[in-house]
Structure 1
Amino acid sequence: MRASRDKATDESTSEPRNLIELMQAIDAIDTPSGRIRFDEVLDAIGRRAFGPLLLLAGFITMLPIVGDIPGVPTLMALFTLLVCGQLLLGRRTFWLPAWLRNRSLPSDKLHRGLKWMYRPAKWIDRLLHQRITVLTGRVGIRFTAAACLLIALSMPPMEFIPFTANLAGAALTLFGLSIMARDGVLAIIGFVITGLSLGVVLVNLL
């Protein structure tokens, strides 16, 4: 019964094609309990495509108010590790443990962060174009996944270094958008920000 319900959810969910559509899908989640479970967010955006899942991890980490909640960067790091690891192993669908899917965020903080991001998100979406698509093809995506693994491994200590987790979130967001829009320029910027964020962490740890 559970499998049938999950299949129906996957078939009825339309994957977001840009940042605004991702935000609208999250904003539309009805949560009378006052908290939004991660599983509900995955239901809203779809569970099968690497780009939207990577964009989700980055966006939540980058989101004002939400990304600074203790534990959120580490949670998104674990999510990123699982998704990128499975992609590099050649899986076409992504498995996530129940304890991760059942984690939740305060809905009021999430909606406030989304409201703040709508205007810059519209500006970002206007910049999306198909270009240098070799960086978003099969081989390029594997390089992206490897970079995201490095980001995820560095995110837990970022909780103790102001603003670095948001910087990592920006890199993951750019990588997710680059894959969805087949925009290699965003991938290049993502690699630059990855190097910058890892450099800041190393400087603060040494």
Structure 2
Amino acid sequence: MPHTEETTDDEVSGLDTLLDRLAQAAADGGSLSVGSAMDVVGRRSFGPILLLAGLVAIAPLVGDIPGIPTSMGLIVLLSVVQILFGRDSIWIPGWIERRSASEEKVARAIDWLRSPAGFLDRVTRPRLRLLVEGRGSLLIALACVLIALSMPFLEFVPFSSTGAAAGLVAFGLALVARDGLVAAVAFVLTALTYGVVGWVVFG
């Protein structure tokens, strides 16, 4: 079951914290690879990994790179499988770890994300924890598996991968903040996204 325990001072505690650490990592290295970003958020807890994957897939300039949404979906899928099988640290293939974006692109994407990140950090808090713990966290993991599996196909439907990525961000934030209300919103957002995609493709 996904690891959702309370964060410590060294762990990601919200979107602003995550963005700060990613910006610093990009500035230190002149670019930001997927592997470096994974090291920033940690490879033990599912929530921060979801946040990272969703933010990368939704951010302009970075998420618009062909194949990035699919790569983020694969990271989510591998993370869920490895966590459910009890691995202490998440492994991802080297070809994904080596994918990178320049410091300039990362900085511009992070600047774009700052305002919504600050708002979400202010309104989230521990509540309705039944939806983010125990069986609730298992349902979140299953929903994220479905999102991850669909990412390659959503890249061919305009704007649909953005909705799916927003769902990953919401699920990740729900787990990090232990906010069941955000989890409920994430389920609704995901259902609406796939409902619209189904209507566009088959309607």
TM > 0.5 fold call: yes
**2: CA distance between counterparts of 1:32 and 1:15?**
19
Q: In the alignment, is residue 170 of structure 1 matched against residue 163 of structure 2?
A: no
Q: In the alignment, is residue 119 of structure 1 matched against residue 115 of structure 2?
A: yes
Larger deviation, residues 174-183 vs 135-144: 135-144
What's the TM-score, normalizing by structure 1? 0.87
What's the TM-score, normalizing by structure 2? 0.88
Q: Secondary structure at the match of 1:70?
A: coil
1:58, 1:172 within 8 Å by CA — same for their partners in 2? yes
Correspondence for 1:137 among 127, 133, 143: 133
Q: Which amino acid aligns with 1:67?
A: G
Larger deviation, residues 136-145 vs 83-92: 83-92
Matched residue, 1:182: 178
Q: Which amino acid aligns with 2:121?
A: D
Q: Secondary structure at the match of 2:25?
A: coil
Correspondence for 1:71 among 67, 78, 93: 67
Alignment length, in residue pairs?
194
Matched residue, 1:5: none
Q: Deviations over 1:127-186 (max 9, x none)?
A: 111110011112211110100011111111211222111111111001001011110000
2:73, 2:148 within 8 Å by CA — same for their partners in 1? yes
Matched residue, 1:45: 41
Runs of 5+ consecutive residues of structure 1 not aligned to the other structure:
1-12
**2: CA distance between counterparts of 1:170 and 1:190?**
8
Larger deviation, residues 49-58 vs 33-42: 33-42
Matched residue, 1:24: 20
How much is the aligned-residue C-alpha RMSD, in angstroms?
Answer: 1.8
Runs of 5+ consecutive residues of structure 2 not aligned to the other structure:
1-8
**1: CA distance between counterparts of 2:28 and 2:122?**
34
